[in-house]
């Protein structure tokens, strides 16, 4: 008979909700702390956890906080169904079970000495925010930081205050667009790919990290290649229905890969044949 | 002082265009300026010009009766505004709203159409460039209508 231990990746650890911040009408950021213990909570930007909402279910959610801040885990969650609604309805002091962190993150090390191009769509900015924190904290180790971010409308933009702060950092360009603007919006309007012409990219010295809906990533990778980025310098975060998070159950199988174990971050070269496969 | 010829030659839209053709274009070009919050053109108007935007920001808006207009695209430095001058019946399809003080070069569409009829090589150079802009807009619109961030 096997016995579960605290290090067992299948056993959720108890965490308490410390803070819930409303980002948009349906998206919230939750900050969690381990209950009654001082875990390091080390994670790689791009990794995810399985969050267990007691009585509602378990969800794979990317970590969206600062990797240098030990002791707390931060997640940005869009309420789209019963379980996510239950998760974002938690309040300070509520308990949540956490497994992880899991998966392969963004190539932060390989990007050292290069320009870093972050391209995000919608809630896809959440798994990329730790990359931005990491680059800004170690500014001298990276070239330019270019953040291209698209959302559906101005009210659906995440982290608006932080976007403004990042835009003021040296050697950093932040361009934000929305698919549809209203009269009060004076920023860009158009899909995220329309930002590339303003981005002054130097393809040969850049590494790109892309996260958003798969269709958006297909459009973006074409644009990155057109701007001189090599396929092996483009990375994507993929999403499928993850259950066990350790490559046992097969729910998140994508071609020959398990997204939870082999990803969620993959090189574009590896993903390209699969992205173009009909109905995969 | 920058000459019109220099400004046109340096604009990304005319990148690689031979100086012979740039000289032909200059005859149809004028410097224009639109203050913030003014309309450059409105839907249904005759399309007599297109613009090379030098500075500023312009929104393309679609008017909806009894509702606020929808902003479907913005254009900024280096962009081209308007291609209805090229396609009959030469009528504007959108409202172009200067969101900021905007400086541009206006190219007279009637003048250009006449020159293109007389010089098909110039016409081909312009069509090559405009078809690229149209293809980009078409792809952007396709991406936009997919509403990829919306689906609950």
Note the ipTM here: 0.84
Residues A126 and A173 in one domain: yes
Last residue of a domain, one of A35, A68, A102: A102
Give residue for tokens 């939870």: A260
Asked if residues A199 and A176 have their Cβ atoms less than 8 Å apart, the reply is no
Mean pLDDT over A200-212 rounds to: 96
A179: CATH = 3.40.50.80
Mean pLDDT of all residues belonging to chain B:
92
Residues A156 and A204 in one domain: yes
Dist. CA A218–CA B113, nearest whole Å: 38
Has residue A3 been placed in a domain? no
Residues of A whose CB is below 8 A from B140 = 190-191, 193-194
Last residue of a domain, one of A59, A76, A102: A102
The whole-number pLDDT of residue B2 equals 76
Residues A133 and A161 in one domain: yes
Interface of A with B in 180-239 (CB under 8 A): 180-183, 185-191, 193-194, 197-198, 212-213, 215-216, 219
Q: Are strands A48-53 and A57-62 parallel, antiparallel or unpaired?
A: antiparallel
Residues A19 and A140 in one domain: no
Has residue A7 been placed in a domain? no
Lowest mean pLDDT among A148-162, A174-188, B37-51: A174-188
Residues A50 and A182 in one domain: no
Residues A72 and A125 in one domain: no
Asked if residues A163 and A157 have their Cβ atoms less than 8 Å apart, the reply is yes
For A82, the domain range is 13-102
Query: What's the predicted TM-score (pTM) here?
Result: 0.90
Residues A170 and A242 in one domain: yes
**Phi, psi dihedral angles at A134 (to 5 degrees):** -65, -45
The whole-number pLDDT of residue A278 equals 77
Lowest mean pLDDT among A36-40, A161-165, B139-143: A36-40
Mean pLDDT of all residues belonging to chain A:
92
**Where is pLDDT greater, at A266 or A241?**
A266
Cα dihedral value A165, A169, A172, A174, nearest 10 = 10
What are the residues whose beta carbons fall under 8 Å from the beta carbon of B132, sequence distance 6 or more?
none
Residues of A whose CB is below 8 A from B139 = 193, 219
Has residue A1 been placed in a domain? no
A47: CATH = 2.40.30.10
Q: For B42-84, what is each residue's pLDDT tens digit? A: 999 999 999 999 999 999 999 888 888 888 899 999 999 999 9
The whole-number pLDDT of residue B68 equals 81
Last residue of a domain, one of A102, A127, A147: A102
Mean pLDDT over A95-121 rounds to: 95
Residues A96 and A120 in one domain: no
The whole-number pLDDT of residue B152 equals 47
How would CATH label the architecture of B4-146?
A: Sandwich (2.60)
Has residue A17 been placed in a domain? yes
Asked if residues B93 and B43 have their Cβ atoms less than 8 Å apart, the reply is yes
Q: For A47-70, what is each residue's pLDDT tens digit? A: 999 999 988 899 999 999 999 987
- b (16+ CB within 10 A) / e for A112-131: eebbbbbbbbbbbbbbbbbb
Dist. CA B99–CA B70, nearest whole Å: 14
Tell me if B72 and A215 make a contact (CB, 8 A cut-off).
no
Tell me if A183 and B70 make a contact (CB, 8 A cut-off).
no
Has residue A258 been placed in a domain? yes
**pLDDT for residue A6 is more than 60:** no
Q: Which band of pLDDT confidence, cut at 50, 70 and 90, is reported for residue A275?
A: confident
DSSP string, A220-260: HHHHHHHTT--GGGEEEE-----SSSSSSS-TTEETTEEHH
- Number of separate domains in chain A: 2
Residues A58 and A126 in one domain: no
Residues A205 and A253 in one domain: yes
Q: What is residue A78's three-state secondary structure?
A: strand
Return the number of CB contacts < 8 Å for A and B: 73
Has residue A188 been placed in a domain? yes
Tell me if B149 and A151 make a contact (CB, 8 A cut-off).
yes
The whole-number pLDDT of residue A129 equals 98
Residues A267 and A145 in one domain: yes
Domain range summary for chain B, segments of one domain joined by +: 4-146
Q: Which band of pLDDT confidence, cut at 50, 70 and 90, is reported for residue A188?
A: very high
Has residue A140 been placed in a domain? yes
Q: Pick from B149, B151, B152 the residue to mutate for testing the A interface (most A CBs within 10 Å).
A: B149
Q: Pick from A25, A179, A222 the residue to mutate for testing the B interface (most B CBs within 10 Å).
A: A179
Residues A122 and A200 in one domain: yes
**pLDDT for residue A2 is more than 70:** no
Has residue A18 been placed in a domain? yes
Q: Are strands B57-64 and B29-34 parallel, antiparallel or unpaired?
A: unpaired
């Amino acid at each position: 008979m096997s016995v579960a231990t605290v290090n067992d990746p299948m056993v959720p650890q108890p965490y308490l909700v410390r803070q819930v911040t409303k980002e948009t009408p349906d998206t919230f950021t939750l900050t969690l702390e381990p209950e009654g213990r001082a875990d390091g909570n080390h994670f790689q930007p791009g990794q995810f956890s399985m969050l267990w909402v007691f009585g509602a279910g378990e969800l794979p959610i990317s970590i969206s906080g600062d990797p240098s801040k030990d002791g707390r885990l931060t997640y940005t969650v869009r309420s789209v169904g019963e379980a996510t609604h239950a998760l974002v309805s938690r309040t300070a002091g509520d308990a949540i079970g956490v497994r992880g962190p899991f998966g392969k993150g963004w190539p932060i090390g390989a990007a050292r000495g290069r320009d870093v191009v972050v391209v995000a769509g919608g809630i896809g900015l959440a798994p990329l925010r730790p990359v931005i924190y990491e680059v800004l904290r170690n500014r001298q180790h990276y070239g330019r930081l270019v953040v291209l971010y698209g959302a559906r409308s101005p009210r659906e933009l995440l982290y608006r205050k932080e976007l403004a702060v990042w835009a003021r950092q040296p050697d950093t360009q932040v361009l934000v667009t929305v698919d549809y603007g209203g009269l009060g919006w004076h920023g860009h309007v158009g899909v995220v790919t329309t930002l590339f012409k303003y981005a002054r990219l130097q393809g040969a010295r850049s590494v790109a990290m892309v996260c958003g809906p798969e269709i958006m990533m297909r459009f973006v990778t074409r644009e990155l290649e057109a701007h001189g980025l090599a396929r092996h310098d483009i990375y994507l975060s993929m999403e499928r229905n993850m259950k066990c998070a350790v490559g046992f159950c097969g729910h998140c199988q994508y071609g020959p890969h398990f997204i939870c174990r082999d990803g969620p971050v993959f090189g574009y070269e590896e993903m390209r044949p699969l992205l173009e496969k009909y109905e995969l | 002082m920058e000459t019109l010829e220099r400004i046109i030659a340096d604009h990304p839209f005319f990148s690689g265009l031979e100086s012979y053709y740039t000289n032909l274009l200059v005859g149809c070009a004028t410097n224009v300026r639109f203050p913030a919050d003014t309309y450059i053109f409105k839907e249904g108007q005759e399309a007599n010009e297109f613009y090379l935007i030098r500075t500023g920001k312009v929104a393309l808006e679609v008017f909806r009766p009894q509702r606020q207009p929808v902003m479907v695209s913005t254009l900024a430095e280096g962009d081209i505004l308007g291609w209805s001058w090229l396609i009959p019946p030469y009528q504007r399809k959108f409202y172009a709203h200067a969101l900021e003080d905007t400086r541009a070069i206006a190219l007279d569409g009637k003048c250009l159409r006449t020159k293109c009829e007389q010089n098909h090589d110039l016409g081909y150079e312009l069509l090559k460039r405009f078809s690229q802009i149209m293809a980009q807009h078409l792809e952007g619109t396709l991406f936009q209508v997919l509403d990829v961030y919306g689906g609950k």
